[in-house]
Amino acid sequence: MIKFFRKIRQNLLNEGKTSKYFKYAIGEIILVVIGILIALQINNWNENRKDFSKEKAILVNIHKEFKKNKKQLDSVVYRHKLSLDYCNKVIALFPITSKPDPEVLDSLTVLMWDTYAGVTFNPSQSSITALTNTSSFEVITNEKLRDLLISWEDLIEDYQEEEIRSRNHVWEQYDPYISKHFDFNFNFNDPRNDFDALQTLEFEYLVKSRQDLLDQIVNSSGELQQVQKTLNDIIILSNPKIK
């Protein structure tokens, strides 16, 4: 092809058709430029297609991972709410006398075990870790989704602070007191249980502290609601079928 164009130019020069030669040269330049632009466009199309395929694969992983995270969070929140409810029911029995009625003891046998709930939300974050390690967040074209993914780890860290405080209270204060006075299964028919411990201010304080810490997780702090909203938004926005 190059030899063909060169021959045409040579013939025009030999024939003395200078003006036609320049017109032809300009036309040839325009054709070359058009060819280059077409090649660049094809290259851009190929790169965009590769990026689209990469993004789709990433979205599939994110969508699947965060659906599992939502299932775990729902389970954890259920345990928190159950424990909060049981703390409220124990508090409703206050003040407890030194010789509680059998009905009160039966209620406490059921309620005390579930006032513990030292569970925590530990979501899988492998997809976000992979994006961070490879600096690939720019592959996510949806700006809102990209921002949610970037802020996810900080959001979880803030939320987990509430759960860690509650868990530490259980194992550092609540359980040590309970274990000194009651059997493991709260079998209040066992005479070795210290029923006087039920009427102390310390016992009431510990149960109310449990209630307060659980309420902060579930209601007061607002961290849980933000995590739930963000998690749901990520699931929706990462759905490849919607994109």
Structural tokens at position 65? 């991972």
Q: What is the mean pLDDT of residues 209-234?
A: 95
Sign of the Cα pseudo-torsion (60, 61, 64, 66, in order): negative
Q: Give the percent of the chain with pLDDT over 70.
A: 78
Q: How far apart are CA 97 and CA 114, in angstroms?
A: 22
Structural tokens at position 86? 């049981």
pTM as predicted: 0.77
Q: Would the pLDDT of 108 be above 70? A: yes
**CA distances (Å), 33 to each of 36, 51, 204, in order?**
5, 27, 84
Neighbour tally for 128: CB within 10 Å: 21
Closest CA to 148 of 158, 137, 157, 162: 137
Neighbour tally for 211: CB within 10 Å: 19
100 phi, psi to nearest 5 deg: -60, 150
Q: How far apart are CA 132 and CA 29, in angstroms?
A: 46
How do residues 127-184 score in pLDDT, each as one tens digit?
Answer: 999 888 887 888 899 999 999 999 999 999 999 999 999 999 999 999 999 999 999 9
Model confidence at 10, pLDDT cuts 50, 70, 90, reads: low
**CA distances (Å), 56 to each of 62, 120, 141, in order?**
10, 31, 10
What per-residue confidence (pLDDT) applies to 65? 96
